[in-house]
Structures are given as C-alpha cells and as structure tokens.
Amino acid sequence: MTLNNTRINHKSSRKKRQKKRIFYFLVLPLLLILLAGGTYAGFLFTKAANVMNASNQELERGDTSAKRIQKIDPKSDNFSVLIMGVDDSEKRQQGSATRTDALILATFNRDSKSVKMVSIPRDSYVYIPVEGKNDKITHAHAFGGVDGTIETVEELFDIPVDYYVKLNFDAFIDVVEALDGITVDVPVTFSEQDSKDRKDAIHLEKGLQELNGEEALALARTRKIDNDIERGKRQQLVLKAIIDKAISAGSITKYGDVMEALGDNITTNFKFGEILSLYDYAGTGLNIESIALDGHDQYIGRTYYYQLDEQSVSMLTTTLKGHLGLTPATTATTSESQLQAASDNE
C-alpha cells in the first residue's frame, strides 16, 4: 500500500469515527446587536443584566495574565475576547471533559471601533501549557478548562486574552429558534446528524431557504463533505444570516427570548457594565474583519492534526498586536519548550 493510499485510508477512518460538531461563532456579534437597538425597554435592560449576572464566571487566574499585568477597561482600552464553542449539550452531558469544537479570537480597537476575528481549527497542533506538550488545541479545555484554553491561545499568538464567552450546542439552536429561523443560501446539498447525534437526520438541498435551529446547526457543523476550511466559509454564511435577522426591525421583540437562550447556555467573565461598553462598536455598523489561518493536514503516527503555517501565525500575531495597540517588538515564535515538545511527540 502506498503512502498516499495510507493517508487517504487514515483520513477516511478518522472522518467516520469523529463526531460532527458545531463551530460556535455567533455570540459576540449577537451581544453587540442586542445593545445596538436604540433605547432599551426597562424589562429588557433588567433581563440583560440578570442574564449576564447569572452567566458570569471568573477565571481561576483572576483579572490579569502574564501577557497583561494590569486589568483593562473595555470602555477606554483595546481588548480581546476568546469565543469557545464546546461539543456539549443537555443530551451529551460531558461535564469537565468537554472539548472545544470552535475557537474564535476577536480583538477590539477602541479608536477605529473595529473588530478582527480569527478562527482556530480545532485540530491545530499547538503547544498546550497545561499538558506540557504539543497536542490538538481542542484538548486544552478537556485538560485545563477555560483557563487552560485561554493560556494555550495566549501562548500561540503571544497576546493577552482579556475576556471569554463559552457556549454549547443548545445555545446555537435556541438562538436561531428565538429569531424564528434564518435565511441562508445553502452552498451545497448534504446530509448531517442532528443535535441528538441521529445520523443523517438533517438533509438540505443547495439554494436559498429558511433554516430552523437544527438545520442551521447542521450547516455550521458539517465537514465530511470537504474540510475545515470550507466549513469555515459555511459558518460565515450562517453568521451573516444570524446578524441580518437579529438587526431587522421585526426581531426587536424577540430580543428577550434571544437573551434567555443565551443565558441558559453560556458562561463568561464579562460583567454587565463591561458589556454595555460594547455599544459604541455596535453603533458603527459592526465593522468586523474575518481572518483565516493557513495550514495543512498532517499525521503523526496514525493521529491526524492540522499543522498551522508558522509564517501565517507570525503575520497574524503582528496584526493582532497592532490592533490591540501592543508594542510589536516580537512576533510569534516557537519557544524552546514547544520545539522540545514537538520533538518528543514525533
């Protein structure tokens, strides 16, 4: 058997074994939208405060990290947010062993009122401090929870992660349902399992159509038809559809239901007052730039990884540091500990 055939067989086997998971990317733009609708009715303001207070969970490390000694104020400073989508739901009940299926790092620049967002593929082969070795980035949460994941992302890009938002499968479905569905031009015909892991329970045809929560989840999570790069493009389609629906005049009355959907299924270290500071970003029309990370498939032994391109990581690090207003004295480099860990795993 040739090396190429072995690789194909490995990849096919991997796809059959792996659970299909969602890319959770919606919460930050949606939170911005919730605060951009003009004057809040009294009950909406109270509901938003209650949701944020109930969802608040501080980091074990406290307010600062090794990358930023002094706590920032989002009302006056540039800051960053890590959005974590976990492969968990009421049915799965995986608890602390849950892995992240989606990671989106967003940086906010106060002067330009702009947001830069980068998606980190779940199988990215990176150094995970809590493990002390290189591994898939999705494992950082299983070993170290939210703090372990944040520390890994800070190590990767050499920038501070100031805030996080973590949500699960149920949040995605409930938000789309709270909006009474979304309109998406589905780019490809496919079948996918639903949130209860029932095989091929969702089937969508190519073309413009209305999607409910389960259908939107299926479009965002499917990757057996191609790869994570194409899946990212489909997720952007779903994200835009959610934003378009949420900012439509007819959706204002649904904000209460949307907040309840988020409140039941998210945790964050944002406080309500800090969330209010995002109003200025929403008021400028959501100036969001999506940035892609380059890389390629790689097998170490019989295990599949996504090997990030070092130059792409370095360039992105410089971009994010500049957007945060940090001194770009260094770019992302591979530390001695990372090199040793990679050598030990090969």
> What residues does each domain of the chain span?
19-345
- Alpha-carbon distances of 239 from 7, 147, 188, 244, 305, rounded to whole Å: 33, 26, 17, 9, 26
How big is the chain, counted in residues?
Answer: 346
Query: What element of type H or E holds 118?
Result: strand 114-120
Query: What element of type H or E holds 103?
Result: strand 100-109
User: What single DSSP character describes residue 138?
Assistant: T
Reading the chain (346 residues) residue by residue, the pLDDT tens digits are 554 554 445 554 444 444 333 333 445 555 554 444 444 455 566 777 777 777 889 998 887 778 887 888 998 999 999 988 886 655 555 555 688 887 889 899 999 988 898 888 889 999 999 999 999 999 999 999 999 999 999 999 999 999 998 888 777 788 899 889 999 999 999 999 988 889 999 999 999 999 999 999 899 888 778 777 677 678 778 877 887 787 675 666 677 777 777 777 788 998 888 877 777 776 656 677 888 889 999 999 999 999 999 999 999 999 999 999 997 543 333 344 444 444 444 4
Determine the distance from the C-alpha atom of residue 115 to the mean position of all C-alpha atoms in its chain, rounded to a whole number: 14
159-186 exposure pattern, b = at least 16 Cβ within 10 A, e = fewer = bbbbbbbbbbbbbbbbbbbbbebbebeb
CATH pick for 19-345 out of 3.20.20.70, 3.40.630.190, 3.40.140.80, 3.40.50.300: 3.40.630.190
